[in-house]
């Protein structure tokens, strides 16, 4: 089977799994928002933002480095995975342990501080699951990740519904999420044993090698967190919990939408790593096709959400969260930019240029802090939304410059232009039939978009044949 077809099939399988996972996750959020209201969901959002901040910090760049290392030819996969897993346990225990301790000095109510302790446990299990992702991506069996995620989300949903039925408070709902994370980790760990035997290993030479390659990413992660997550934390300090709830509901949609690009780029990274030296032309071809795929999906997302943000938020969160459609209309531009940014970031890792990208994230963090401090006080969640878009633009442009300076290549923008034009053709349907059910509008406008994209050559017959019929790229 060709590499192109393998990536396509794995992307499709994991995307289907992701669709189920997203559906379950959105159902969970719908129950939580309706049950807790703006104030309660604001407190929930503070807990998730705070513990999520420490969770990503605990990664220390290990996920991308492990994925890159195990994808290399003749890599000692079992040894790398076992040592990385052990290292992840220790770093996660240390860093996630700091989350509830530091929260004690924050101006949060007691229930939020208690919730952060439960949230830290939840994200600890998720951090262990994430480090296993590189293994499944190497063997292109990402359906295992999808199944583990769906199972974990299903457990969380069931327990959240039970907590609501019993009229329990926020801490029980957070506990439901923690048990779902545990189920997700255990499932992924059992699946991983089919490919390699993962045990606690303390080979410090491997730890040193991983740390040496990961430290630029670790610094990048710290500053990425500042510009990607710190807005919610600053909002929670400077504005009421209700504002955090409005912004958090919209931001949750952003996180759901960017998940596909993360999945896709995670699958592409091993291929980029494999061909960066052995076949530079194939490397560029994979990079170009990946770019085309992502912009093809990002463009209609922007137009669709611009017109349907409010009904989407009403459907998910209830009438109380219709106002979240306003920040979502701004954040959708950040989603499109992050689609490309994820590809640029993974490509830079494959090119071993993490140190250069580190300065990009440092700059992004500085800009995020300054602009959020300026715009959140007068504009609340609107200021936070605009700041997110601005910083993402800076990061993507700088990342593109690094790639160009390294390989003297940037993706051709022909498909991007065609995607933008075809996306604009969706506007008449979205405006004329605005009173129609928004799900019907999504389906009909999507059919129009992809039909037009095919007609103008944005989706080529040869690529469809390569993906689904015979595959022209050999292994």
Does some domain include residue 185? yes
Does some domain include residue 473? no
Does some domain include residue 474? no
Distance CA 55, CA 468 (A): 38
Distance CA 108, CA 39 (A): 13
* Tokens of residue 410, six digits: 């940037």
Task: Dihedral sign for Cα 302, 306, 310, 311, please.
Answer: negative
* Under 8 Å between Cβ of 156 and 23: no
Distance CA 356, CA 219 (A): 11
* Under 8 Å between Cβ of 301 and 335: yes
Cα end-to-end distance, the chain, whole Å: 7
Does some domain include residue 417? yes
Distance CA 323, CA 312 (A): 11
* Under 8 Å between Cβ of 88 and 53: no
* Residue 51 to residues 112, 147, 222, Cα–Cα distance (Å): 11, 24, 14
* Residue 295 to residues 390, 413, 458, 465, 466, Cα–Cα distance (Å): 19, 9, 11, 21, 20
Q: How many domains does the chain have?
A: 1
Q: Which residues contact 38 (CB under 8 A, 6 or more apart)?
A: 241, 242, 245, 246, 320, 321
pLDDT for the residue numbered 5: 55
Does some domain include residue 151? yes
Does some domain include residue 370? yes
Does some domain include residue 475? no
* Residue 460 to residues 9, 293, 404, 468, Cα–Cα distance (Å): 18, 12, 26, 13
Residue 149: φ, ψ to 5°: -65, -45
Does some domain include residue 165? yes
What are the per-10-residue average pLDDT scores of the chain (475 residues)?
55 69 87 92 92 81 73 73 87 92 93 95 89 71 79 94 93 94 92 83 83 74 71 91 93 85 79 84 91 94 95 91 96 95 90 82 88 94 95 93 92 94 94 86 92 84 48 38
Residue 182: φ, ψ to 5°: -65, -45
Domain range for 69: 3-468
pLDDT for the residue numbered 156: 94
């Amino acid at each position: 089977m060709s590499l192109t077809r393998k990536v396509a099939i794995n992307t499709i399988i994991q995307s289907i799994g992701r669709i189920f996972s997203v559906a379950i996750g959105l159902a969970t959020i719908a129950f939580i928002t309706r049950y807790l209201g703006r104030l309660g969901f604001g407190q929930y959002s503070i807990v998730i933002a705070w513990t999520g901040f420490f969770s990503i910090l605990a990664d220390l760049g290990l996920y991308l480095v492990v994925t890159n290392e195990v994808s290399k030819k003749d890599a000692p996969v079992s040894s790398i995975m076992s040592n990385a897993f052990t290292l992840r346990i220790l770093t996660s225990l240390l860093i996630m342990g700091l989350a509830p301790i530091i929260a004690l000095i924050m101006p949060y109510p007691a229930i939020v501080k208690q919730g952060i302790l439960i949230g830290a446990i939840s994200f600890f299990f998720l951090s262990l699951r994430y480090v296993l992702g590189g293994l499944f991506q190497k063997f292109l069996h990402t359906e295992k990740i999808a199944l583990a995620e769906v199972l974990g989300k299903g457990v969380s949903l069931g327990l959240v519904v039970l907590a609501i039925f019993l009229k329990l408070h926020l801490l029980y709902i957070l506990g439901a999420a923690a048990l779902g994370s545990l189920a997700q980790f255990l499932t992924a760990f059992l699946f991983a044993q089919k490919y390699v035997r993962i045990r606690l290993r303390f080979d410090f030479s491997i730890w040193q090698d991983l740390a040496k390659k990961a430290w630029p990413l670790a610094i990048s992660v710290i500053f990425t967190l500042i510009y990607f997550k710190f807005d919610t934390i600053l909002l929670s300090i400077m504005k009421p919990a209700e504002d955090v709830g409005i912004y958090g509901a919209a931001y949750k949609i952003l996180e759901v939408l960017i998940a596909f690009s993360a999945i896709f780029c995670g699958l592409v990274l091993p291929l980029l790593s494999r061909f960066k030296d052995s076949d530079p032309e194939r490397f560029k071809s994979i990079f170009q096709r990946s770019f085309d795929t992502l912009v093809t999906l990002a463009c209609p997302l922007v137009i669709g959400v611009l017109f349907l943000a409010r009904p989407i938020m009403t459907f998910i969160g209830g009438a109380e969260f219709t106002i979240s459609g306003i920040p979502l209309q701004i954040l959708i531009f950040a989603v499109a930019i992050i689609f490309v940014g994820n590809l640029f970031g993974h490509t830079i890792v494959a090119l071993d240029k993490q140190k250069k990208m580190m300065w990009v994230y440092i700059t992004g963090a500085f800009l995020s802090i300054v602009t959020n401090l300026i715009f959140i006080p007068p504009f609340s969640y609107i200021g936070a939304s605009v700041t997110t878009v601005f910083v993402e633009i800076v990061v993507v442009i700088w990342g593109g410059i690094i790639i160009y300076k390294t390989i003297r290549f940037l993706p051709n923008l022909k498909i991007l232009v065609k995607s933008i034009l075809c996306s604009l053709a969706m506007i008449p349907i979205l405006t004329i039939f605005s009173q129609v059910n928004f799900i019907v509008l999504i389906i009909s406008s999507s059919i129009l978009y992809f039909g037009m994209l095919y007609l103008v050559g944005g989706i080529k017959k040869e690529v469809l044949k390569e993906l689904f019929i015979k595959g022209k790229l050999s292994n």
